[in-house]
């Protein structure tokens, strides 16, 4: 029997060092959930999802370590929650196939990410399917397998992943329709306060827009990047509107209440953009400097990361095997 706490799960694709958007939108809320008594949490590195786009083995391997080290450096306690690597649980792949037999092709045709690439191809007068491999096309099925095999109840994600959770729900319902209540139908959890973190150019911070602030840069580089935030040419003494300022938006995500009030007043009195950026650097760096040291240390001692991932695999795999057996029995292949 399950205890009172809800099971929660999320995955991060290793496609590069996570940035502030990933941290605030996905990692931080997930760690808060992991540290609360209300959730039994499992987090994983979605390395097979990265294989849809990354064909460089050295890079992919490096990114796997980077993402694992970010989770740990940011405070994920591997004894309170489980951290594992997707490819360490081969049962997910069997589940992936079973689920794909309950996924209508139309559902995949409507997936935003796939549609966006098709659209872009057509706009640029290329064949609609150019550069789309089957991994990209059926990405949401694998994601459903990730979620459903652990009987997940809650999936903390950024707003852009909502459609994927809807798809996982549809697939679970389609299966349950035939075989009874086998899969738990998951719910997405999007933190409204952190829904979309803006990047250096004011658009959504994303690796695809090349506008990110990676989490762990040497201090000097972090300062340099923050100085790149686009500002207008108003002189320092001109009163400025804090509600129309990217620097202020980012500041609010890291500062304390009183600091925000003081910054707000400073804006209204007139602040120089150089000063504003220096203040922003201070609050971001304050939150990241401790974890940065832990991160650097872990990346130099990767066996520590390996140990955590093995511990995670050993916790998750028996559950995956047991549940997969139940599902195989249901469909009649056992
Ligand atoms: P990217 O767009 O940089 O490739 P991913 O798609 O790998 O980022 O996102 C990983 C996780 O981080 C997802 O849960 C996503 O919703 C969240 N996330 C990414 N960018 C942001 C952002 N700018 N604001 C809030 N959450 C974000
Ligand atoms: N698609 C997610 C992303 O790009 C990563 C992911 C893979 C995931 N499997 C998942 C997230 C399962 C939540 C649950 O961010």
C-alpha 244: how far from chain center: 27
What letters, b where the CB count within 10 A reaches 16 and e where it falls short, cover 196-225?
bbbbbeeebbbbeeebbbbbbbeeeebbeb
Per residue in 73-127, pLDDT (tens digit) is 999 999 999 999 999 999 999 999 999 999 999 999 999 999 999 999 999 999 9
**What is the predicted pLDDT for the residue at 190?**
86
> For residue 256, which phi and psi values (nearest 5 degrees)?
-85, 165
* Per-residue model confidence as pLDDT tens digits over 57-72: 999 999 999 999 999 9
Residue 25 beta carbon below 6 angstroms from any ligand 1 atom = yes
CATH number 1.10.240.10 is the correct assignment for the domain at 216-295: yes
Domains of the chain: which residue ranges? 6-103+138-197+302-331, 216-295
Q: Note the ligand closest to the C-alpha atom of 159.
A: 1
Residues 129 and 121: beta-carbon distance below 8 Å: yes
- What atom of ligand 2 comes closest to residue 9's alpha carbon? 14
- Domain 6-103+138-197+302-331 belongs to what topology? Rossmann fold (3.40.50)
CB of 201 closer than 8 Å to CB of 231? no
pLDDT in tens, 260-283: 999 999 999 999 999 999 999 999
Q: What's the pTM?
A: 0.93
Binding pocket residue ranges, ligand 2, CB within 6 Å: 10-11, 13, 46, 49, 143, 146-147, 155, 157, 161, 164
Q: Fold match between 6-103+138-197+302-331 and 216-295?
A: no
**Which pLDDT value is given to residue 240?**
95
Give the position of tokens 């690597």: 85
């Amino acid at each position: 029997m399950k205890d009172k706490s809800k099971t929660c799960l999320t995955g991060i694709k290793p496609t590069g060092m996570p940035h502030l958007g990933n941290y605030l939108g996905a990692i931080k809320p997930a760690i808060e959930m992991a540290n609360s008594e209300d959730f039994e949490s499992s987090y994983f590195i979605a390395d097979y999802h990265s294989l849809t786009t990354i064909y460089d083995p050295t890079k992919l391997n490096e990114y796997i370590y980077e993402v694992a080290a970010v989770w740990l450096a940011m405070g994920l306690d591997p004894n309170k929650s489980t951290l594992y690597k997707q490819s360490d649980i081969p049962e997910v792949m069997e589940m992936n196939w079973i689920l794909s037999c309950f996924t209508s092709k139309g559902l995949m045709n409507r997936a935003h990410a796939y549609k966006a690439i098709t659209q872009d191809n057509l706009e640029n007068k290329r064949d609609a399917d150019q550069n789309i491999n089957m991994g990209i096309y059926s990405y949401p099925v694998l994601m459903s397998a990730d979620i459903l095999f652990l009987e997940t109840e809650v999936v903390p994600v950024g707003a852009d992943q909502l459609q994927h959770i809807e798809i996982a729900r549809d697939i679970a319902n389609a299966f349950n329709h035939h075989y009874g209540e086998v899969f738990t139908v998951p719910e997405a959890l999007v933190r409204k306060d952190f829904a979309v973190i803006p990047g250096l150019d004011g658009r959504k911070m994303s690796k695809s827009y090349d506008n990110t602030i990676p989490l762990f840069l040497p201090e000097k580089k972090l300062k340099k990047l923050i100085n790149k935030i686009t500002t207008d040419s108003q002189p320092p003494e001109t009163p400025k509107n804090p509600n129309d300022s990217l620097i202020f938006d980012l500041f609010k995500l890291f500062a304390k209440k009183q600091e925000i009030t003081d910054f707000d007043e400073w804006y209204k009195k007139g602040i120089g953009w150089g000063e504003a950026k220096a203040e922003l650097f201070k609050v971001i760096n304050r939150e990241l400097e401790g974890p940065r040291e832990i991160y650097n240390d872990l990346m130099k001692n990767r066996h520590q990361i390996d140990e955590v991932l093995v511990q995670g695999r050993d916790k998750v795999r028996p559950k995956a095997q047991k549940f997969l057996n139940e599902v195989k029995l249901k469909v009649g292949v056992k």
